Structure 1
Amino acid sequence: MLRAAAGAGRDYKRELMDLLDVQPGQTAIDVGCGPGADLPEPAERVGVSGTVIGVDRDPAMLTEARRRTRDLSAVEIREGDAHCLPVMPGSVDRAKIDRVLMHVAEPVDVLAQLHSVTRPGALIGLAEPDGDTLTVDAEDLGTSRAFTRYTTSEVVRHAAIGRSLARHAEQAGFTVETVIATTPVFLDFQGADHTLGLGRNMQQAIQEGHIDEERGRRWFTSLSEGTFFASFMLVSVVSSR
């Protein structure tokens, strides 16, 4: 549902990687690595003596990640679930979970699993949106609010996980070092429709009876007319083991 707008997306990823301070020879893991777009940078940082493990459970994502990283000798792509990571306990120096906890069954259990596989002194980086902060500008403010309520309550499993990251990390046994909130901004309607699921989620809300059809369709049509604005808050947390 919530993917960062291009500029802000690059910025928070770069900042999170800098805070993780991946070093040569370390073992790093990217949980829910998807197509592997974020794996080359940590691979460069760990060097020839280190290892970067990308974990995902989606076969299509694993195939693309392997294709993308086939020339990176430091990278290993492993099939696995975030609740049961395919790595040895106490073997990881750096870990990253980026916009994955909002989809898993039990975020707290995933963080407990991370605590198990990381070494003392390890750093973990977490980044998740707070879906309740999704704002879409429209003259019909009531429908914009109804759209956000529907998306966060019916579409995304843990829509408000961003605000809870620091608390959950502490509960899992980590020490919170840094908390940062950024605000990706969307000014292009088509891009926002694709990444925020404006039309897709509105159609679903109408079909399920959460939003009146005429009002919902009028709201969606109005978004493509004139100046467009949408945003949400993205929270990044870096914690130590």
Structure 2
Amino acid sequence: MSTTLGVPTPDPAAYMLRAAAHDAGRAYKRDLLDQLDVRAGHTVLDVGCGPGADLPSLAERAGASGTVIGVDRDPDMLAAARARTERLAGVTVVEGDAHDLPVERGTVDRARADRVLMHVDVPADVLAQLRRATRPGARIALAEPDWDTLVVDADDLETSRAFTRFTVSRAVRNATVGRRLARLTEAAGFTVEAVWATTPVFRDLRDADHSLGLGRNMRRAVEAGFVAEERGREWFASLAEGPFFASFTLVSVVATRKP
């Protein structure tokens, strides 16, 4: 399909920074940070830190006596995170996999993983790594979408539904981990303290196309046989014809490590 169907695939670091700057992104990130309750002197772990968008806020709360460790396995993300935090004392950005966190056992006071579990091989194994890394009583904060709740307003409702089915079955590895987040966290040895849902709403088509991959994922849906090509083109074109609406559910969990 032509690249005119949606924006080109964005640079990953730029994509994550733009998503973090979106109104909905700022709101849930602020709530997640508040609930994490980082205090001066804490050792804080940011799993899948990406380009480091959240590391400065964590460092500010941990203070001069605290330590913030950002972990990611993508070289481009690591380079961006290091550039963003090079002037911040107490912040370290290290290469590592969420399935084998490069931190000593029982050394972390606070940890977070923001939209990471939907991409990993085995979410339960990553949560087990968080338990290994944290001290008894340590607090973790997690946030994951449930892509089965993705809705895009269009007259062609069946194609919107087919787009969501493709997103869940092909586009995202663990597309419904959001709804399982509290259960998985409990099973990993944490006590869940709070669970809440946020519904990011997109009213601008270009913003939604960038953040949700409407065009590029519709191309993939057509290639995979989920949608006929002409129908996919007509669906995407129709999104620009009137007021635009799309949304999904993002689930956040805060928990403490059991002894």
- The TM-score range, normalised by the shorter chain, is over 0.9
Count of residues in Structure 1 that have an aligned counterpart in Structure 2: 241
Q: Is the CA contact 1:5–1:186 (under 8 Å) kept in the aligned structure 2? A: no
CA offset digits 1:163-209 (Å, max 9, x no partner): 11000000000000000101000000011001100000001111121
Give every structure 1 segment of 4 or more consecutive aligned residues whose post-TM-superposition deviation is greater than 4 Å.
1-5
Structure 2 counterparts to residues 175-194 of structure 1, below 5 A: 175-194=191-210
Q: Hey, what does 2:36 align to over in structure 1?
A: 20
1:64 maps to 80
Percent identical: 67
Does the alignment pair 1:97 with 2:116? no
Q: Which runs of 5+ in 2 are unaligned?
A: 1-14
- Structure 2 counterpart of 1:80, one-letter code: G
Q: CA deviation at 1:5?
A: 7.8
> Does the 8 A contact of 2:20 with 2:53 survive in 1?
no
| Residues 5, 132 of structure 1: alpha-carbon distance in 2 compared, 3 angstrom cutoff | farther
Q: 2:226 corresponds to which residue?
A: 210
1:151 pairs with one of 161, 164, 167: 167
Deviation at 1:4, TM superposition (A): 6.8
Q: Give, in angstroms, the shift of residue 13 of structure 1.
A: 0.5
**What are the within-5 Å matches in structure 2 for residues 85-234 of structure 1?**
85-234=101-250
Give the distance between the partners of 1:35 and 1:221, measured in 2 at CA: 33
Q: SS of the counterpart of 2:215?
A: helix
Paired amino acid for 1:183: T
Unaligned runs of 5+ in 1: none
Following superposition, the deviation at residue 107 of structure 1 comes to 0.2
Q: TM-score, normalised by structure 2?
A: 0.91
Partner amino acid, structure 1, of 2:108 = V
CA deviations 1:70-97 (Å, max 9, x no partner) are 0001100000000000000000000000
The worse-fitting range, judged by mean Cα deviation, of 1-10 and 67-76 is 1-10
SS of residue matched to 2:82: helix
CA contact under 8 A between 1:35 and 1:61: conserved in structure 2?
yes
- TM-score scaled by structure 1? 0.98
- Residue by residue over 1:30-49, the C-alpha shift from the partner in whole angstroms, topping out at 9 and shown as x without a partner, is 00000001000110111111
